[in-house]
Chain A
Amino acid sequence: MLLNVTDLRKSYAGPDGALPILQGIDMMLNRGETLALTGESGSGKSTLLHLVGGLDQPDSGVVEVDGVDIGALDDAGRAAVRRDKVGVVFQQFNLIPSLTVGSNISFQARLGGREDKAWIADLSTRMGLREHLAKYPEQLSGGQQQRVAIARTLAAKPALVLADEPTGNLDEATADTVMDLMLELASETNAALLMVTHSQRLAGRMGRRLHLRAGRIDGSPT
């Protein structure tokens, strides 16, 4: 079991007191599996992704990644999990503007001491980024920037890939291309892929699907 989430709860402070976002989430994910997380805006999809990725801390419940309870870790421990086990692809790309495309791609892999130059070169070629490696993110189109973000995540060969609306800012054709690449590469590295999406079409391409409604899993996983 790569990911095991048990009775996960999270609320944020609102103007009228605590605002519950997640109200007892249970879920599991194995290596090589793909799971789509769907739901209305505000249903808690992104919050769940952030908690699973060790980007935020739950109020209660357990998140185990590769057997490690990340809720019990301190800031440095959670940072190590993010560095070594998890990769996150954001909708807004969130590339590092001061680094070149090449440096952005290899950044997380080098940070975790797992740089595989041959793999990164292969990844860059297959992502169609080879001729852009010396450029800066601002010099690329949105689709190209998202491909850099995906390449950055996969370059580190994480066990768990988390993607938050990774194609939300792209047109349909580009979104399909990016999705194809992400699924193909995740499969090659035997990574588990957990993707938040509004798109039923893209969700249909994933192995399983979970629908969130008001902070709870709605019905049985499909």
Chain B
Amino acid sequence: MTKAGLLALLSHWRRNPVQLFTLVVGLSLATALWSGVQAVNAEARASYDAAAETLGEGQFAQITSDIGTISQADYIALRRAGWLVSPVIEGRLDGVRLIGLDALTSPGGIAPVGLNDGAMTIDMLTAGVLFATQDTLDNIAEYGVQTVASPDVAPGVILTDVGTAQRLLDMPDVLSRLIVAPSRPLTQIPLGDVMPNLTLRAPQGGSDLGRLTDSFHLNLTAFGLLSFAVGIFIVHGAIGLAFEQRRPVIRTLRALGFPLGRLVALIGVELLVISLVAGAIGVGLGYLVAAALLPDVAATISGLYGQSVSGTLQLRPEWWVSGLLIAVGGTAMAAAASLWQLARMPLLASARPRAWAMQAGQGRLLQAGVAVALLILAGVLGWLGSGLVAGFGMLAALLIGAALALPVVLDRVLAFGAAQAKSVMAEWFWADTRQQLPGLSLALMALLLAMAANVGVSTMVSSFRLTFTGFLDQRLASEFYVYADDEEQALALRTFLETRVDKVLPIQSVEQNIRGLQSEVFGPTAHETYRDNWLFLNAAPNAWGDIENGVGAAINEQLARRADIDIGDEITFSGRSFPVLGIYGDYGNPIGQVIVTKTLFEDLFPAVSALRFGIRMDADDVPALAIELRETFGLAEANMINQAGIKAFSLSVFDRTFTITGALNVLTLAVAGFAILMSLLTLATMRLPQLAPVWAQGLTRARLGQIEIIRAVLLALLTAVLALPLGLALAWTLLAVVNVEAFGWRLPMFLFPLDYARLAGFAVVAAVLASLWPARKLARTRPADLLKVFSNER
């Protein structure tokens, strides 16, 4: 019996292969976009984890020196004073980051998993083995040291013993920092008493790297989820149509004694199989998407955050399993209403398939009610809610509410168009478009979400780019930056430079704890460079003047938000209190920052001298000065930064970011275009009874085909117009709510009208492409098929 029932149900797909194709492709594309983005994220996160373990940062307290290095003698002195510290040396070997650790004294969990076994530790200590990924090892020269390829080491990093690292870096008896073990002996002498020149940094909870990169990945995940939602709209439409068309079969099966429960179960199993097949295809496609995107993502993250990500994609079980699960879950979600309806359908319910389009149009009032409720909920969450959950809740309510409202709004717009129509063709066009609306609703909702996601994400990314460019102008206002190795060299450099350039601006800083938060205090020289370039988000009147007079301080947004500090509030450091006179944007910085005038800084921290200098000069003279400094002081390339070079590099990084978001934009729009194509193809067969009378009364099939294209373009354009405010609301939510809740800083929002016009152009192209096939099909419909509509013997 089960087999007979199954064959009867499956015969539907045999007769309607396009519908099955729509279902499988819709689900595959949705899964592909989701799992593609997840694959990129998983790969990048795995790299961060390896990096975090390698660096030991975040997990453990560290001891650093103001002059950048710690001598081996200081390290020994600290150990004798009861400090359980482990030495770390860091430098560049052939441009690759070389980290030297002491395997015996380093706390557990500091090295990647693979290095935590005894054999490797012995190798490291006795033979001075270099551990790195194969890619990294391929990029370094032969040093006569044994190398071991280890996938657990972060990309772009070489791990070795501290002694080997000192030798390879030619830095004998020098250490970069000391890692402090969590347990502290009772006999431990306070650091200030043993080594007053060293600074103890508290553990940072391992979140610095995460905070910076999570911003990027959160956006990608949001995009992946939206893309998936777009695909699920297609699946929902295809499943709903299949259920409607199978009503007669279902009724007959039940009338012949097939149990309802088994029928529901059979359809459930059928959908499960389809979703697993489509999910597998989607995961495969997702792998290809990720493989294509990963190199750009790796370059972006490396450029933005200085963190290497493996450029090679691995098949991680967590993402392909999650891809399959989300395909099955999405199908279940899309089919739930139809299955529920089937389970409750009385045996004698009408077997005639209700016009799908008409059926989709029913309950419009209810749909409008739910849409309004969700939009109100989004407003309330935006107004009163707080926290990341409220931010995402607002996003979901906004997007779903707007999607549900779309058919209602379009219906009203089309009714208005019909009321304005003068010619008979225009009148019919508007009325007929309105009648088609229910059948196209799901595809148009998908298009709305795709376009809103595009507007939202591209606005956010472009705003980020613009802000960051401005931020670079602010932070890299000087044409040239020079770092001295020690105080003596700093003094010599300053004397040398002052006669050759317009202005030398010393940059001196010290770490302080402000309101319980790790922060950095800067004391720049009063100069118009800062006044002209550092723009405040919020400031007291004459803020720069007062800061230059030493009566107050400016702080970054991170410190202001985390410590709840506003203009006029007082902050205390080095035993003195200062009013906050300005708050400035400091994008990407994980810690608090304070700026006071140079005079005040030197008064508060007399022992801290400037080793870094910003230099104002003619940009064209920078290369010549760099050569002179190299020849005179033996300054390394790493100690000199040409502002133009940094800016060019930063902008190229952003352009790579655009490559990823651009690719995702195109893919999401393609999915929405596919939804329109499938809806139009499905409607095409149902449309003949509506179009045949118009054809019979004197319209050519070619003209009817043209009108179909015009109709698709009109609907796409109307949807694009409605997607714009939705996309901007999405961007605002991401920038002003989600970003602030997640990362503590708010990015200003800019508008990009040309980008939006281009996007509307893409939507129109997608609509034209999607409608070409159905229109051509209509234009080539045989008269005999149109005449069937009029046949008396039907």
Contacts and interface: CB of A to CB of B under 8 A. Distances in A.
Given A55-B783, A99-B428, A103-B431, A91 B698 contact: no
B701 A75 contact: yes
Contacts of A82: 696-698
A97 B432 CA distance: 8
B424 A76 contact: no
A60 B428 CA distance: 36
A150 to B, nearest CB: 14
Interface in B696-718: 696-703
A106 B424 CA distance: 8
Nearest to B698: A83
A76 B427 contact: no
A75 B700 contact: yes
Interface string B547-584: 00000000000000000000000000000000000000
A99 B690 CA distance: 11
A50 interface: yes
B784 interface: yes
Interface residues of B, number: 33
Contacts of A90: 693, 696, 790
A110 B424 CA distance: 6
Nearest to A198: B792
Main secondary structure of the interface of B (DSSP, over half): helix
B424 A107 contact: yes
A46 B791 contact: yes
B693 A95 contact: yes
Nearest to B421: A103
Contact of A97 (B435, B695, B792): B435
A60 B209 CA distance: 81
A141 interface: no
A56 B784 contact: yes
A199 to B, nearest CB: 13
A222 interface: no
A57 interface: yes
Given A12-B784, A55-B783, A55-B787, A98 B698 contact: no
B693 A111 contact: no
B694 interface: yes
Contacts of B784: 12, 56
B787 A107 contact: no
Contact of B432 (A83, A92, A98, A111): A98
A88 interface: yes
A103 B698 contact: no
A142 interface: no
A92 B783 contact: no
A143 interface: no
B698 A80 contact: yes
B777 to A, nearest CB: 16
Contacts of A106: 424
B700 A107 contact: no
A94 B688 CA distance: 11
A96 B702 contact: no
Contacts of B423: 110
A56 B435 contact: no
A34 B545 CA distance: 102
Nearest to B692: A94
A124 interface: no
A196 to B, nearest CB: 8
B431 A98 contact: yes
Given A107-B424, A111-B698, A94 B434 contact: no
B623 to A, nearest CB: 72
Interface in B412-448: 423-425, 427-428, 431-432, 434-435
Contact of B787 (A56, A75, A84, A96): A56
A189 interface: no
Contacts of A79: 695, 698-700, 703
A112 B371 CA distance: 43
Contacts of A84: 698
Interface in B618-648: none
A12 B692 CA distance: 20
Contacts of A46: 790-793
A90 B696 CA distance: 10
Given A91-B792, A94-B692, A83 B697 contact: yes
B697 A107 contact: yes
B789 interface: yes
Given A96-B690, A103-B431, A107-B428, A50 B697 contact: no
Interface in B745-794: 783-784, 786-787, 789-794
Interface string A152-193: 100000000000110010000000000000000000000000
A144 interface: no
A125 interface: no
Interface string A18-51: 0000000000000000000000011000100010
A108 interface: yes
Contact of A111 (B434, B697, B701): B697
A98 B787 CA distance: 20
Interface string A84-128: 100010111011111100010011101110000000000000000
A80 B698 CA distance: 6
Contacts of B698: 79-80, 82-84, 108, 111-112
Given A110-B424, A111-B425, A111-B698, A97 B690 contact: yes
A46 B431 CA distance: 30
Given A55-B787, A75-B701, A111-B424, A88 B696 contact: yes
Contacts of A107: 424, 428, 697
Contacts of B435: 97-98
Nearest first, the 3 A-B pairs at minimum CB distance are A83-B698, A110-B424, A98-B431
27 contacts: A46-B791, A53-B696, A55-B786, A56-B787, A79-B698, A82-B696, A82-B698, A90-B790, A91-B792, A92-B789, A92-B790, A94-B692, A94-B696, A96-B432, A96-B690, A96-B694, A97-B690, A98-B432, A103-B427, A106-B424, A107-B428, A108-B697, A111-B424, A111-B425, A111-B697, A111-B698, A112-B698
Given A76-B700, A103-B428, 13 more contacts: A41-B793, A55-B790, A79-B699, A88-B697, A92-B790, A94-B789, A96-B431, A96-B432, A98-B428, A98-B431, A103-B431, A108-B698, A164-B792
